[in-house]
Amino acid sequence: MTDVAKAGETRRRNDIRDRWLLSAPALTLIAIAGTGPLLIVLIYSFLAPGSYGDVKWEFSPNGWFNVFLSRDIFDNTVSLADAHYTIFWRTLRLALATTVLCLLLGFPLAYFIASRPPGSRSIWLFLITIPFWTNMLIRTFAIAEVIRNEGIINSLLMRLGLLVAPVQMLFTDFATLVGMTYVHLPLMVLPLYASLEKLDFRLVEAGYDLYASRFGVLLRIIVPLTRPGIIAGSILVFVPALSSYVIPLVLGGGKNLMIGNLIELQFGQGRNWPLGAALSVTLVLVVMIAVIFYMRNAGEPGGRAHG
């Protein structure tokens, strides 16, 4: 190698070193106070539970075992952990239902905004982002107030004579679903809007020109072309819905748990840290699978259309 080539190589290496130094504070911060401690959780999931919370430093597969199976404390028979499956199933069902509801409401909403004149679009979008940036807890609280027994909906229906007694909505799965949809709707609308805004309406014109109906155009042209936005929005809603904690706590009440609350329970009253750790790792894995699915599918429309 010539001197100048060596000098170039040194300069390149110094540049990379500087870039690592520059990113060191952020990486360190996240490693110690962000997602780094997840490693500890992973380790804990293979340890034995301590008597008053915490762990004993000995290997035990029981944390993972207990995620899916339960051993009867009297006769030692092994059966499926029904209570956990109920919670998993509720979590999955509610997360999927939230995603579908958000999509059904969010698509027309995003389409409506994207079809406004360019000048007023940002105002409409702003109206979507305000709830997005207001405190999630406050929004959950607001929903709770509206649907509680003495809340607006029940008292209005009763005053109108449509109901004799209030309908119990708060502390049900329905309440959790309403709350999650309410809180996560903006997360669906924003990527949908980004896709719809880029939509080339000449293609829609071409669709009409070739005898498609309004619904045909929607189904065969607009929806396929906005697929990246639909996938992005669905993942953005599905992932946080899956790991909800506050919403089922406030709206679902104590008994309609989702996996997030189950995890909390193991670190709180349950005092079974390894089980909580194993549940946490499971949740992270499910989320990662969803994200990888998203990354694989969120390319440009047509890129994988025939793949």
Partner 1 sequence: MMAAAYESGAISLEGVMKRFGDFQAVDNVTLDIKLNEFFTLLGPSGCGKTTLLRMIAGFEMPSGGRILLDGKEISDLLPNQRPVNTVFQNYALFPHMSVAGNIGFGLKMLGRPKGEIRAAVAEMLRLVQLEGRGDSAVTQLSGGQQQRVALARALAPRPKVLLLDEPLSALDLKLRKSMQIELKRLQAETGITFVFVTHDQEEALSMSDRIAVMSHGKVRQVGSPADIYHRPADRFVADFIGETNFIEADAVSIAGGVARVRLPSGVEIPATFPAGVTPSGKVTVVIRPEHAQMVAQAGDGALRGIVGDIIYLGTDTHFHVRLDDGSPFIVRRQNATNGPSEFSPGESVGIRISDNVAQIVMNQP
Partner 2 sequence: MARTFSVRRQSGFATVAMLCFFLLYLPIAALVVYAFNAGTSIAIWEGFSLRWFVSAWNNQQVVEASWRSLRIAAIAAVLATACATLAALATTHTAPYRGLTAKYAFINMPLLVPEIVTAVALLVFFSRVKLWTGYSGLGYLILAHSAFCVPFAYLPIRARLESMDASLGRAAADLYATPLQIFRHVTLPLLWPGVFAGLMLAFIISLDDVVITEFVKSSGQDTLPTYMLGQLRRAITPEMNAISTVFLLLSLSLVTVFFCLSRNRKKES
80 or 223: CB nearest partner 2? 223
Measured from the CB of residue 38, what is the shortest distance to partner 2 in angstroms? 5
The reply to whether 7 sits near partner 1 by the rule CB under 8 A is: yes
Q: How far apart are CA 287 and CA 305, in angstroms?
A: 25
The contacts of residue 170 (CB under 8 Å, 6+ apart) are: 144, 147, 148, 149, 151, 251, 253
41 binds, among partner 1, partner 2, none (CB under 5 to 8 A by kind): partner 2
Q: Give residues 280-299 in contact with partner 2 (rule: CB under 8 A).
A: 280, 283-284, 287-288, 291
Measured from the CB of residue 293, what is the shortest distance to partner 2 in angstroms? 13
8 binds, among partner 2, partner 1, none (CB under 5 to 8 A by kind): partner 1
172 binds, among partner 1, partner 2, none (CB under 5 to 8 A by kind): none
For 201, the token pair is 């309406």
User: Is 262 in a helix, a strand, or coil?
Assistant: helix
Q: What are phi and psi of 89, to 5 degrees?
A: -65, -40
111 binds, among partner 1, partner 2, none (CB under 5 to 8 A by kind): partner 2
User: Is 33 in a helix, a strand, or coil?
Assistant: helix
40 binds, among partner 2, partner 1, none (CB under 5 to 8 A by kind): partner 2
Measured from the CB of residue 269, what is the shortest distance to partner 2 in angstroms? 14
Helix (H) or strand (E) holding 137: helix 136-147
Q: How far apart are CA 109 and CA 114, in angstroms?
A: 9
The reply to whether 16 sits near partner 1 by the rule CB under 8 A is: no
Q: How far apart are CA 42 and CA 40, in angstroms?
A: 5
Q: What are phi and psi of 3, to 5 degrees?
A: -60, -45
The beta strands (E) that lie in the chain are given as: 47-49, 55-59, 69-71, 78-80
**Interface pick for partner 2 out of 9, 145, 200, 300 (rule CB under 8 A):** 145
Nearest to 266 by CA among 81, 89, 140, 59: 81
Q: Which amino acid is at 254?
A: G
191 binds, among partner 2, partner 1, none (CB under 5 to 8 A by kind): none
The reply to whether 15 sits near partner 1 by the rule CB under 8 A is: no
User: Is 253 in a helix, a strand, or coil?
Assistant: coil
146 binds, among partner 1, partner 2, none (CB under 5 to 8 A by kind): partner 2
The reply to whether 128 sits near partner 2 by the rule CB under 8 A is: yes
The reply to whether 306 sits near partner 1 by the rule CB under 8 A is: no
Half-sphere exposure of 258 (CA within 13 A, CB side): 27
Measured from the CB of residue 150, what is the shortest distance to partner 2 in angstroms? 4
**Interface pick for partner 1 out of 11, 159, 255, 306 (rule CB under 8 A):** 11
Which residues are near partner 1 by CB under 8 A? 2-5, 7-8, 11-12
